[in-house]
Every structure is written in structure tokens, then in C-alpha cells.
Structure 1
């Protein structure tokens, strides 16, 4: 079962002018906060800075989000929801070899994740989740992490694997293994401001190709097969 994200604050049934204005103001505050966090860092950005950039009063920012952690939670949650709806392509393919499919898919995840928030935001969130694991920010970070793991398990589960060992394939274990490789590569990406996405893709490919050759039968590696509906 896929780990659910919190409900979308943009109520699709809200039609009043007041509701629409609130949604626009909510998005404007988030957009300016994201820009300031990326340019200055989270610690160097105050709620007053965000209010000034969004052309609202500081109490308005507090009313909408409570504090900076509340803004970060909204950025991560809403960004993840939008990314999986529009940016992150986890569509099973069989048009090329399996290592390329995995690399392309995980590259899409990396790009979608950085579209949610910049490297500084992800570094801060990762560190905060480790330092203060019982905060709402840490719990939200864990929910997003679990949501991505579940999506990858669904993606991997679409393939009719043939393992080199001829043993039955444990798709959940394979998905966790692939996730761990991506997660390590993504951590390297966010901790180094000079590291670009093309280099990140090359690092992913260099780690995934040997693993794919080690685990899977040559015929599957070259020509991956999807499970049939009956399978």
C-alpha cells in the first residue's frame, strides 16, 4: 500500500473569491520562501524576509504556516505531490536495456526532487530529521521518503524478472536495494553545490549497471519484460 501524503490544502471544491485569494497568497508565500531558502539558506532567512518578499505582513506568514518548519513541511509535501503528478516519470518501459531504464527513471526522480526544493532545503531537512527525529518536519520527511520507496516498489513490481541465480525474485527487496543506491547518489548531489545533474546521472549509471549485470539474467538485462496481467 502506498504511503499517503497529507491532504492537499488546495480544496478543488473551493470556489469563493476569498478561498481563491487564500490559495494564491499561500502559493506566493511558498514560492518566495523557496527562492529565499535557495539563495540565502534556511537559517539566514527570517519570517519577516519571507513576508517582505511576498508583500504580506509577518503575522500573515505565521497564520498560514506557523513557523519556518511549517513552510518547509508545506514545500516538501506539496512539492512531492505535484512532482509525482507531473514531473517524476515512473512509467515502466521496455524500449531499451534495463540499466538504462533504471538510470533514466531515477534521474527523473532526482530532477523532480530538486524541482520541489533546492539543495540547501534538502540538506537542512535531512540534517534536521537526524538531529530532531520526533519533530513534525522529521515525520514529514520520513513520509515523503516512504512515499518514494512505495512508488519505486510499484514500478519494480511491474517487471517479470529473471535472476541470474534462477531464484524467485523478491521485488520489494530489489526495490529497496535500488532505492538505497539512488539515495546515496542523491545525498552526494545535494551536499555538493558544484555537482550537476549530468554528473549525478553518470554516477547513478556507474553504480546501477554493475548491479544489474550481477543480479539479472543477460536476456532480461538486454530485453526487459513486463508482467502479464495474469502474472
Structure 2
């Protein structure tokens, strides 16, 4: 029976997340009410609050769902990376960026970033920061893997290089979500141009 209850609980959670994702995208984060999310998910308002304290918690759960999926895809790439450091780094960054608008719109990303900045010491803010840290750690892991394969100079500080790559990507992603006219193609081109000198410095 406990297994069935857990399955039902997970199913309700997924329905709530899917409903919130659709409503945040279609109606906007500010305009969406918990009552509307509950109705769309076919659960009671109390059930929503049993899972999430507020809309911000729901939003970070959607961000977490997105990040967990790209981390899994990134792990697969690191297991079999391209044989050039530029290609490997661009492939990992592309995984992150290509998935970034699957669940969240630019407006949702702006809301998520704003809440994390305004409330850095709340569970929401700490969770959001932890997701960034996991992504940065994966970029560092890629550089370390390439270094072991002889594709990155042995004297390079792999962690510093990985953090620099992630921080630049993260900064440019912030520009992307603030600029409605900017496309993913524009974003990738800007990041590739900015990282080119670093890629050249990493090669043996």
C-alpha cells in the first residue's frame, strides 16, 4: 500500500507541476493564482499547499526539473565527449541552452532570477543557487575529463577554467532572458565568440 501511496503522491506532484508550467507560460507568473493551478491539476487548493508553500516554490521546482534533465544529458556527453575542447564545451553549453525554454519562458526565468536575488537566504534562494552550483560543477568535470584525455593542457586549473566558462555562460543567459529579441542562435554565437580565446589557451 505504501508503494501505491507514493505513486499517487508523485502523480499529483507531476500534475501540479505540469499545470503550473502551462499556466505560468500562457497567462504569466504574476497573473496565475494557486486556485487556478489546483483546478487545472484537478486537485484541491490544500493539496497544492501540501506540496508547495507558494508560487515561488513551484517556480523553482520547475527550474529544478529543467536543470536535472540537462544534467543527465550532460553526464552522457561527458562519458563520451567530442575530441576537441571547443566542440566538447560548445556541445555541453548547447545542451543547457537548447533545453532552457522547454519548460520555462523568458518571463518565467526573469521571475525565478529576481526571486533568487531578492531572497538569497530563503530555501528558494538557496535551492536556486545550488542548481547553479551543480551546473558549474559539471562544466568543471568536463574540463577535468578532457584534461585526463590530453585535450587540455596539464598545467591548466580545470576547476577555474570550468567556473569561468559557466560564469560567462550564465551571465550571457541572463542577458538573453532580459532581451526578448535575442534568439538562442544569437546567444550561442555570442558565447562562442567570447570563449574562443579561452579555448585556444586550453589546448595543448
TM-score by length of 1: 0.77
Higher share of residues assigned helix: 2
Q: CA RMSD in A?
A: 2.3
3-state secondary structure, aligned to 1:157: helix
Q: Give the 3 Å change call, closer, same or farther, for CA 82–101 of structure 1 in structure 2.
A: closer
Q: How big is the shift at 1:127?
A: 1.1
Greater CA radius of gyration, 1 or 2? 1
Higher normalized contact order (CA 8 Å, seq sep 6+, divided by chain length): 1
- Contact 1:103-1:208 at 8 Å conserved across structures: no
- Contact 1:38-1:119 at 8 Å conserved across structures: no
**Match for residue 69 of structure 1?**
56
| Structure 1 spans left out of the alignment, 5+ residues | 1-12, 221-231
- Contact 1:125-1:137 at 8 Å conserved across structures: no
3-state secondary structure, aligned to 2:139: helix
Instruction: List per-residue Cα deviations over 1:175-197 (Å, max 9, x = no partner).
Output: 11111221122112222233222
Q: Give the 3 Å change call, closer, same or farther, for CA 85–216 of structure 1 in structure 2.
A: closer
**Match for residue 6 of structure 1?**
none
Return the alpha-carbon distance in structure 1 between the equivalents of residues 69 and 86 of structure 2: 27
**Match for residue 156 of structure 1?**
143
Figure out how many residues of one structure are paired with residues of the other and give that number. Answer: 199
Q: How big is the shift at 1:159?
A: 1.9
| Structure 2 spans left out of the alignment, 5+ residues | none
